[in-house]
Amino acid sequence: LLINLMFLMLPMFLAQVFWIDRPNRKPRRSSIALGLIGGVTAFFCMMVPFHLTSGYFLDLRMVPLAICLMYGGYSSGLITASIIMMVRLYQGGPGVPSSFFVVACAFLGYMVISRRLPKWTSPNKIIAAVALSLWLSAATLTYAWMIHSDIFYNSLHIRLSLQFAAIQGTATWIITYFIEIIIKNTALRGMLEQSKKMQLVSELAASVSHEVRNPLTVTRGFIQMLKNESLSSEKRTAYIHLALEELDRAESIISDFLNFAKPQLRRLEALDVLQEIRSTADIMTPYATMNQVNITLTLEEGCLVQGEKDKFRQCLVNLAKNAIEAMPEGGTLSFTAGREQAGIVIRVMDTGAGMTKEQVDRLGTPYYSTKDKGTGLGTMVAFSIIQAMKGRISITSSIGKGTCFTITFHST
């Protein structure tokens, strides 16, 4: 009996492990799979029957059939039933017609409840499954009674039938209970992911509107001042310049957000890490010089990663910009790249202010910035780009000494 129960439980644990993370299956295919699993389970149950009293061999084959009918509909049920019948025919013996009769009863019972089934809540479904299995026990008993009417007066047989009905009912109850729990957990997980996404979206919306409004207000102010006829042409040029700068800022904020919202890489190509870091360093040199920062490069040749050129550069630029900004009194920004045991490893290091552990943990969340004109988007965008490139990013930092961003692309 315990072995039978184990056979019934096993598919559920397997389902937990293999199924749940892949929800996008075609319903048709999964109902066929369910039918096959039910059939195999029933087959195993039939191979190892148990006996309540010597001579009466019983097994729980009807439990998978009832469950496949309940959760997979007719197609699953038919597959399971045909496997059961094939095995039963192969085994032969006087019980074959009885088996056919009970299987037919299973479909009959399912027909009665099938229409209302989708509307039921999970406790009702469990009750329905148990009722179905009790109905099958009753069918077995009825059939036996029709064939040998004397059996009905045989108290041993009646006792066994009742015991069997109780066992089958309990087994069905346990299995459906677990299935309902699994279904509930899966739904809960989906909801959790959804609400995480919603939270991120609302945070993003809040910071977008906040961040874009500032430059717009500033631009509006300058344009308003330009209305003043008596303004000198120098001031006029300066204001226009400032207004344009602010508009550029708004634009770059928006494009940062778009980059974040759409980190999927469209055109994957092999990028030479050495080249990308060199050109990033070139881009950053003026900014670095302005802040008395030296840039050093230690690069190995021939490190290739899959990604999109512009985005990868943007990620490096964002990290480099932060590094430079962390060194207001000057310092060294170093890039290293090379092959290590873990794969291709890129490091962006600075000798700047560093961060506490709490600050490091907050990196990459939108809107976290310690700078006056900061947006808190740089690291967030960098992280999402690395994630889209299937890389990992880790940070070590110590206050006053500096920070190291390590990007690892595992070799596959």
Contact positions vs ligand ADP (CB under 6 A): 318, 322-323, 326, 350, 352-355, 363, 368-371, 374-380, 403
Nearer to Mg ion, 4 or 322 (CB): 322
CB of 375 to Mg ion, least distance (A): 7
CB of 321 to ligand ADP, least distance (A): 7
170's CB contacts (< 8 A; 6+ apart) are none
d(CA 338, CA 302): 9
Question: Among Mg ion, ligand ADP, none, what does residue 368 contact (CB within 5–8 Å per kind)?
Answer: ligand ADP
Nearer to ligand ADP, 77 or 376 (CB): 376
Question: Among ligand ADP, Mg ion, none, what does residue 323 contact (CB within 5–8 Å per kind)?
Answer: ligand ADP
CB 65, CB 108: distance < 8 Å:
no
CB of 309 to ligand ADP, least distance (A): 21
CB of 210 to Mg ion, least distance (A): 16
CB 11, CB 30: distance < 8 Å:
no
Which residue, among 344, 346, 348, 347, has the nearest Cα to 303 in the 3D structure? 344
368's CB contacts (< 8 A; 6+ apart) are 362, 376
CB of 353 to Mg ion, least distance (A): 13
CB 113, CB 132: distance < 8 Å:
yes
Question: Among Mg ion, ligand ADP, none, what does residue 137 contact (CB within 5–8 Å per kind)?
Answer: none
Question: Among ligand ADP, Mg ion, none, what does residue 353 contact (CB within 5–8 Å per kind)?
Answer: ligand ADP
Question: Among ligand ADP, Mg ion, none, what does residue 314 contact (CB within 5–8 Å per kind)?
Answer: none
Catalog residues that contact Mg ion under the rule CB under 5 A: 322, 378
Q: At what angle do helices 309-325 and 273-290 cross, to 10 degrees?
A: 30
Pairing outcome for strands 392-398 and 402-410? antiparallel
What's the burial of 309, exposed, middle or buried (CB within 10 Å: 0-12/13-18/19+)? middle
CB of 212 to Mg ion, least distance (A): 17
CB of 209 to ligand ADP, least distance (A): 17
Nearer to ligand ADP, 41 or 318 (CB): 318
Residue 336: its H or E element? strand 331-340
For residue 185, CA distances in Å to 21, 189, 191, 197, 199 come to: 12, 6, 10, 18, 21
Question: Among Mg ion, ligand ADP, none, what does residue 377 contact (CB within 5–8 Å per kind)?
Answer: ligand ADP
Nearer to ligand ADP, 168 or 318 (CB): 318
Nearer to Mg ion, 222 or 335 (CB): 335
Question: Among ligand ADP, Mg ion, none, what does residue 403 contact (CB within 5–8 Å per kind)?
Answer: ligand ADP
Residue number, nearest CB to ligand ADP? 378
Nearer to ligand ADP, 182 or 212 (CB): 212
Nearer to Mg ion, 176 or 322 (CB): 322
CB of 121 to ligand ADP, least distance (A): 46
Nearer to ligand ADP, 42 or 323 (CB): 323
* CB burial string 359-376: b at 16+ within 10 A, e below: beebbbebbbbeeeeebb
| Rg of the chain (C-alpha set) | 34
d(CA 250, CA 96): 78
